Chains A and B, each alone.
Chain A
Amino acid sequence: MSKKRSRNIFIAICVSPAVILFTLFMVLPTIEVFRMSLYNWGGFSKTKEFVGFNNFKLLWNDMNFIQSFQNSVLLIVLVAIITIIFAVFFAAVLTKEKVVGGNFFRVIFYIPNILSIVVIAGIFSAVYDAKSGLLNSVFGVLKLDTFKQMWLGNQDIIIYSIAGALIWQAIGYYMVMYMSSMASIPESYYEAASLEGAGKFKQFTSITLPLIWNNIRTTLTFYIISTINLSFLLVKAMTGGGPDGSTEVFLSYMYSQAYGNSTYGYGMAIGVVVFTFSFALAAIVSRITKRDVLEY
């Protein structure tokens, strides 16, 4: 009996600090997001008024929110598609071709992933600068002056400039993920295929791609969650949502409403919508990309 008791005490001592911290700083704030979205609460005043779903109704007609919605969806789609193409290509090259210095390439490609998003914002401000930016001066040297752009000033293209920075940051990370799942495909499959005369491209589409498909599907959820998060962090550090709201994304709008504008209830309603949207999108994407899992 006392043995059992000391075992239970041991378990309680080990688990409770984690449970307490997790509840205090993860569970409670998450519940607060949902609860506060039902209140009209303007800033530091103590008056909270229960308004039901009124915040959500307001959102429906808020053009700024709709703009941020469009920007976020555009970024998610662009970043996911382009990053997958590059990451899968480079992963296939580095695992299947006997590239000289393969390890060197892998190490370099991963570098953007270890940089602070604030540093990345600084780097891309230098790259995109209209007058003395790296990108425009490269075009200048190549005599391609027509390609020169106000990368961060032109409202029509700035969102693509943001996408570029996000893709630059993401390729290496996902490449390493795909590499590890490609490395576990038995070499004999490729030998058999090449004996039957299948070319490299055919081998890729009928062996590599089907066998890493599940891995790609998993990463689709990552793309959704991390693009929503990282686009906020990057936009906040780089453009602040401007010029004129043209780079406002989901969470940057939420943050500026909740923290900057002190309309907490409204900000949290945005959070709830984004949270629900990202889960629904992840579920839909996961459903429509479902294929029979190939075993090997």
Chain B
Amino acid sequence: MKKSKGMRTETLYKIFIYVTLIALVITILIPVAWVFLASIKENKEFYGSPWTLPDGFYFQNFVEAFVDAKMGDYLLNSVIVTGLSLLILLVVALPSAYVLSRFEFRGRSLLNSFVKAGLFINVSYIAVPIFLMLLDWDSVLKVMFGDGMLLNNRFILATIYASTALPFTIFLLSSYFQTLPSDFEEAASIDGAGYYKTMISIMFPIAMPSIVIVILFNFLLFWNEYILALTLMPGDNKTLPVGLLNLMAAERAAVNYGPMYAGMVIVMLPTLILYILVQKRLTQGMTVGGVKG
């Protein structure tokens, strides 16, 4: 008798657990899936119940978003900026993380504490000062060359993205390099390999797992970033999230919802595909870094 009562509460507990789990799944998946469905709805379908399925595949929304709202151009810009940022970041961060974690030299601990302090500097605070700085340098360039070129510049934006990601990336890479035994360098030195060769052809390949994590995290960071892009790129070279902001404002004013949801799909689809491909690495890697923007 007593045992069956225990079984009963056990079953009730299990049911409770699954109900809560499924409730959270629904609250996460339904809004995201709804946006996908809304992106192929015609405008007249937005009157009435939001739960009706699309009448058909209204592809015109995507055409409008890509062409009229220039999301196609912005997609290209985002690809360029994100790619460039990742490239700059890796070229700059990898050697410094390697040296900071595996070489003894004067000023090393100072640099390391700079990196840690940098983890606390938030992009949102410094977006406007960076803008003013570029404006200032631009006015100097204008006097010298007759033209300013630092604002609305994809390369500059990419450099700044890479710079703001440096503390987190160096922190993560150094903590990986620190775990490696010094045998690698000793063996390489016996084989007659110099510092550069040892670093590039031996140490970097070994660090591949954490390099992949760095790329994944920073891809998401750069792809989704909008406050720097909004502040530093007031011209036509917008990135996708900024383009989406404009699109959302414009379509809401025009009561034309389809292209707006199509724009949202364009922004989130690449990250969702990437996530589904590598979700295991991402959620595991997160515990290595443990830093949130």
Contacts and interface: CB of A to CB of B under 8 A. Distances in A.
Contact of A176 (B35, B96, B240, B287): B287
Interface in A119-149: 119, 121-127, 132-134, 137, 141
A18 B264 contact: no
B202 interface: no
Interface residues of B, number: 90
A207 B170 CA distance: 35
Contact of A122 (B92, B93, B244, B275): B244
A6 B227 contact: no
B166 A21 contact: yes
B145 interface: no
A22 B159 CA distance: 10
Contact of B93 (A18, A177, A180, A255): A18
A24 B134 CA distance: 11
Given A114-B271, A134-B31, A22 B114 contact: yes
A18 B122 contact: no
A83 to B, nearest CB: 12
| Chain A interface size range | 35 or more
A180 B25 contact: no
A237 B275 contact: no
B83 interface: no
A105 B25 CA distance: 7
Interface stretch (B46-54, B63-71, B175-183, B206-214): B46-54
A116 B195 contact: no
Interface stretch (A72-80, A188-196, A225-233): A225-233
B17 A99 contact: yes
Interface in B92-135: 92-93, 95-96, 98-100, 103, 105, 111, 114, 118, 120-133
Most buried by B among A18, A127, A251: A18
Contacts of A141: 51
B105 A111 contact: no
Contacts of B13: 200
B279 interface: yes
Interface string B179-199: 000000000000000111001
B250 interface: no
Nearest to A272: B125
Interface string A21-38: 110111011101100100
A33 B132 CA distance: 11
B11 interface: no
Contacts, number: 238
Given A28-B133, A126-B38, A168-B27, A93 B260 contact: no
B267 A26 contact: no
A25 B271 contact: no
Contacts of A124: 31
A15 interface: yes
B46 A132 contact: yes
Given A26-B167, A30-B126, A176-B283, A108 B103 contact: no
A17 B92 contact: yes
Contacts of A132: 46-50
Contacts of B51: 137, 141
B195 A7 contact: yes
A19 interface: yes
A10 B196 contact: yes
Contacts of B254: none
Contact of B118 (A26, A97, A225): A26
Most buried by B among A112, A119, A236: A119
A126 B32 CA distance: 10
Interface string A82-93: 000010011001
A240 to B, nearest CB: 9
A18 B98 CA distance: 12
B152 interface: no
B32 A90 contact: no
Contact of A90 (B21, B31, B105, B279): B21
Given A25-B163, A177-B286, A33 B35 contact: no
Contact of B21 (A99, A114, A116, A168): A99
Interface string B193-233: 01110010000000000000000000010011011000100
Given A14-B199, A123-B35, 14 more contacts: A18-B166, A19-B111, A32-B133, A105-B21, A105-B25, A111-B272, A116-B268, A118-B224, A123-B264, A132-B48, A132-B50, A218-B290, A225-B292, A259-B231
**4 closest residue pairs by CB, A with B:** A14-B95, A116-B224, A29-B126, A29-B129
12 contacts: A13-B95, A14-B98, A18-B96, A29-B126, A36-B129, A105-B21, A132-B50, A134-B50, A177-B287, A232-B227, A264-B128, A268-B129
